[in-house]
Structure 1
Amino acid sequence: MMRRHSYIWVLLLKMKVTRPFTKNDLKDLYDEYFESIRGFLYYKCSNIDLADDLVQETFIKIWSKRDDIKKETVKSLLYTIANNLLMNHFNHQKVVREHQKSANVSISSNTVSPQFQMEEAEFESKLNNAIAKLPDDCREVFLMNRIDKLKYAEIAERLNLSVKAIEKRMSKTIGLLKESLGMKI
């Protein structure tokens, strides 16, 4: 009696020589290798459903490559395709996770409650009013430092004042703003 895998090799040899690869040939390959490829994939991924899906995809790929199959390499081709499909799956999952992480970060950083937006707008309005009520010399120093991002030395040079005078004006300005905004000093 001929062993099952020998029969497969004879079929594959006949396919190349006498006839094209048929669905019955694919079924014979499937019957012969399904369990071993499934076990191979399950060992690597520990997910039987994924292993089953990848075995199916492996045989679909074999069918698409049916014109290039050589009897000597069909077994290694099956395992290579199965392994490549598994690696592609893992790589895809990695990309999906990274995308989800970046999407979650951008969603959480861009999601602001309407209440927060209202409070922020209200505070900004109060701050602008408080800045407008500052004495001219204090407002000028404050805006040069906080808006124009100038250092105390640069402000002192532009206004022909000492750095110490600028420090005192900024201290006075911050105190006035805290008082005007109702913050404890």
Structure 2
Amino acid sequence: MPKELNDNICEDKVFERVYNKYSQDLLNFLYYKYGSQINPNDVTQDAFIKLWDNCKNVTLSKAKSFLFTVANNMMLNEIKHQKVVLKYHQEKPKNYTNESPEFILEKEQFLQRYQKVLENLNEEQRIAFLLNKVEGKKHSEIAELLDVTQKVVEYRIYSAFNTLKKELEGFKIK
């Protein structure tokens, strides 16, 4: 018994003895109880890491019990996690919308008309308009990019907007 008081698991040689003595038994226990689906090698190593992290709190006589309890709990937690993952995969995502078929059709038709009107804009208007409304660039940034004045950029965007408004009923932009 006095020897046990001097044996501190935090010492490398003592920990190595514990590892050599219990690692194969722990691995076999986990493999026999849970199979190889959840890797028992990893759990065995993790259990020894937890022992090392808690070496000051675990005595040498309680090391085996600590290892087996920790490893068993880790396996049970992993099984619970796998059940949650499986349940999540079994749930079917909703494949419906609250939009009516008429609305979806109108939206597609509007998008086609919008694209045609954009194609019919002259190149300067289209570029300025898309840089501003799609990419969110400021008028000054567009002017610098296109090497024109800011007033020219404003005019191009304004004229593109007016064309879109004329060609598309109900077209509003922020």
Decide which structure has the larger Cα Rg and report it: 1
Cα distance, 1:110 vs structure 2: 2.3
Structure number with higher relative contact order (C-alpha < 8 Å, ≥ 6 residues apart): 2
State the partner residue of 1:67. Answer: 56
Q: Counting helix residues as a fraction of each chain, which structure ranks higher?
A: 1
Identity between Structure 1 and Structure 2 (%): 27
Runs of 4+ in 1 over 6 A off after TM superposition: 122-125
- The alignment yields a C-alpha RMSD, in angstroms, of 3.2
Distance 2:37 2:105 in 1: 58
Q: Does 1:97 align with 2:89?
A: no
Cα distance, 1:101 vs structure 2: 2.0
The 5 A counterparts of 1:50-129 are: 50-102=39-91, 105-106=92-93, 109-110=94-95, 120-121=101-102
Cα distance, 1:124 vs structure 2: 8.5
State the partner residue of 2:25. Answer: 36
Unaligned residue ranges in structure 2 (runs of 5+): 107-174
State the partner residue of 2:6. Answer: 14
Q: How many matched pairs?
A: 105
Residues 54 and 86, structure 1, Cα contact 8 Å, conserved in 2: yes
Cα distance, 1:83 vs structure 2: 0.6
Cα distance, 1:36 vs structure 2: 0.4
The alpha-carbon distance between structure 1 residues 23 and 82, as it changes in their structure 2 partners (threshold 3 A), is same
Amino acid of the structure 2 residue aligned with 1:51? P
State the partner residue of 1:45. Answer: 34
> Normalising by the residue count of structure 2, what TM-score does the alignment of the two structures yield?
0.51
The alpha-carbon distance between structure 1 residues 32 and 48, as it changes in their structure 2 partners (threshold 3 A), is farther
Cα displacement string for residues 123-175 of structure 1 (whole angstroms, at most 9, x for unaligned residues): 989xxxxxxxxxxxxxxxxxxxxxxxxxxxxxxxxxxxxxxxxxxxxxxxxxx
